[in-house]
Amino acid sequence: MSEVAVKIENVTKIYRLYQRPMDRLKESMSLVRKKEYHHKFYALKNINLEILKGESVGIIGKNGSGKSTLLKIISGVLTQSEGDVYVDGKVSALLELGTGFNPEYTGIENIYSNGLIMGYSEKEMDEKLDDIINFAQIGEYIYQPVKTYSSGMFARLAFATAINVDPEILIVDEVLAVGDAKFQIKCINKMEEFKASGKTVLFVSHTLEQIKRFCTKGVWIDKGEMRMVGDVNHVIDMYESEMLKESMEQKKRENGSSPVNPGEFEANLGKIKSVSCTNELLNTFDDFAVDIEYELYDDLASEPLLGVAFYTLDRQYIFGPNTYLDGIDIPKTKGIHHVSYVVPKLPLLGGKYEVDIGLFANKSIVNLDYRTGAFVLTVSADYFTEGLVHMEHHWKINEK
């Protein structure tokens, strides 16, 4: 077990749900007959999972699937109804905004109280205090009650406290979603350092690109049950395929609706100013280019990323190159920049296609700006093959 950071065996979490408050009282008074006035809700059901030390694990699933419940059990906030949980190492958890913080305490007081909960002495927290304050960067608010904080300030203090108390296991549950893009980059960089030091990270985010770029293992939980565990790219691909199928079925029931912009974004570090293409009416094998103008409001510490994604009109993903995967460094200094994406001999076959454009930071973990359906391509082709794209090929006759 020395290499295992977290081991979960047959863990189930059951909540008793009552239709009326009076039913709870009735049940407590019927101990002899043991009559039940509740029904059971399985937040988690028979979960088995092993996480090794040094792994970065992304946990995905729809809202209400049980992700946060699982993290709370691992961190000790909740107790499982059935099963066993083994955790080897000091855990620092960023769960829902506000967990573990007393709103009446000042930022300083909450730093010390959280440290004491984790087992640090006041003297040890004295040594960590400056690092936490400098990372949070909330100024004089550090001496004010946290009930006066904005959600962004709260997230800054919570993350600064969690990451600087030197845990062996870091749990992050959607907290970064409330921070601005600059703070997200700072947090991700700190998490990268944490991961590089051989420590364990459990990460929940609805922005799947964040999980894909940061994590190595994916865990998919669906309606409280383990759906899939494995390579993060494979797990996310299967999850997205399932979500697309459900979305298409929902659109059919609703008689059609427009796709939703993927991911949340913060435009306070940069934005896409304009996009244009050579022609929206093309033939198969025509040359095609997209000109992108983007603006950065400040110099970026990490490399920015531009991505171009091709979809069918029903949002079937065809191809999604980006500058990071292609090893292209684009300008990261403050100001307006221009980049072109060029496809010689576009291989798309006849049909209509949507093109998305995205501007990201930190290997696409932080979304600065995203344009769904920036334009629609209409491609014409003679009938010489079938499908979506033309693949170079040849036939070989092997007769004796």
pLDDT at 99: 62
Between the alpha carbon of residue 393 and those of residues 287, 385, 396, the distances in Å are: 20, 12, 10
At 185, the pLDDT band (50, 70, 90 cuts) reads: confident
State the average pLDDT over residues 270-279. 91
Q: Average pLDDT over the chain, rounded to whole?
A: 85
Total structural domains within the chain: 1
pLDDT at 261: 43
Tell me the pairing of strands 281-283 and 366-380: parallel
State the average pLDDT over residues 289-307. 90
At 152, the pLDDT band (50, 70, 90 cuts) reads: confident
Please check whether residue 62 lies inside any domain of the structure: no
Please check whether residue 348 lies inside any domain of the structure: yes
**159 pLDDT more than 60:** yes
Please check whether residue 279 lies inside any domain of the structure: yes
d(CA 266, CA 257): 25
pLDDT at 254: 64
Lowest mean pLDDT among 195-209, 214-228, 264-278, 303-317: 264-278
Please check whether residue 179 lies inside any domain of the structure: no
d(CA 160, CA 135): 6
State the average pLDDT over residues 13-42. 77
State the average pLDDT over residues 107-132. 87
Please check whether residue 233 lies inside any domain of the structure: no
pLDDT at 31: 58
Reported as a single tens digit per residue, the pLDDT across 88-100 is 988 888 776 556 6
Reported as a single tens digit per residue, the pLDDT across 299-317 is 887 889 999 999 998 888 8
**158 pLDDT more than 50:** yes
Domain around 367: 270-380
Helices in 61-219 by DSSP H: which ranges?
Answer: 67-75, 107-117, 122-136, 151-163, 181-196, 208-214
**175 pLDDT more than 90:** no
Reported as a single tens digit per residue, the pLDDT across 346-386 is 999 999 999 999 998 877 678 888 898 898 999 998 877 88
pLDDT at 1: 47
Q: What's the CATH number where 314 sits? A: 2.70.50.60
At 176, the pLDDT band (50, 70, 90 cuts) reads: low
Q: In the sheet where 270-277 sits, what is the strand order?
A: 270-277, 288-296, 335-343
**46 pLDDT more than 90:** yes
**269 pLDDT more than 90:** no
Which is more confident, 245 or 59?
A: 59
pLDDT at 258: 44
**206 pLDDT more than 90:** no
Q: Which residue has the tokens 């003679």?
A: 382
d(CA 328, CA 163): 32
d(CA 373, CA 357): 8
pLDDT at 253: 66
At 268, the pLDDT band (50, 70, 90 cuts) reads: low
Lowest mean pLDDT among 14-23, 26-35, 186-195, 323-332: 26-35
**262 pLDDT more than 50:** no
Reported as a single tens digit per residue, the pLDDT across 73-91 is 998 889 999 999 999 988 8
Please check whether residue 109 lies inside any domain of the structure: no
pLDDT at 97: 58
Lowest mean pLDDT among 139-153, 244-258, 380-394: 244-258
Please check whether residue 308 lies inside any domain of the structure: yes
The structure tokens listed for 161 are 């406290």
Please check whether residue 330 lies inside any domain of the structure: yes
Q: Determine which helix (DSSP H) or strand (DSSP E) holds 243, and give its type and residue range.
A: helix 232-253
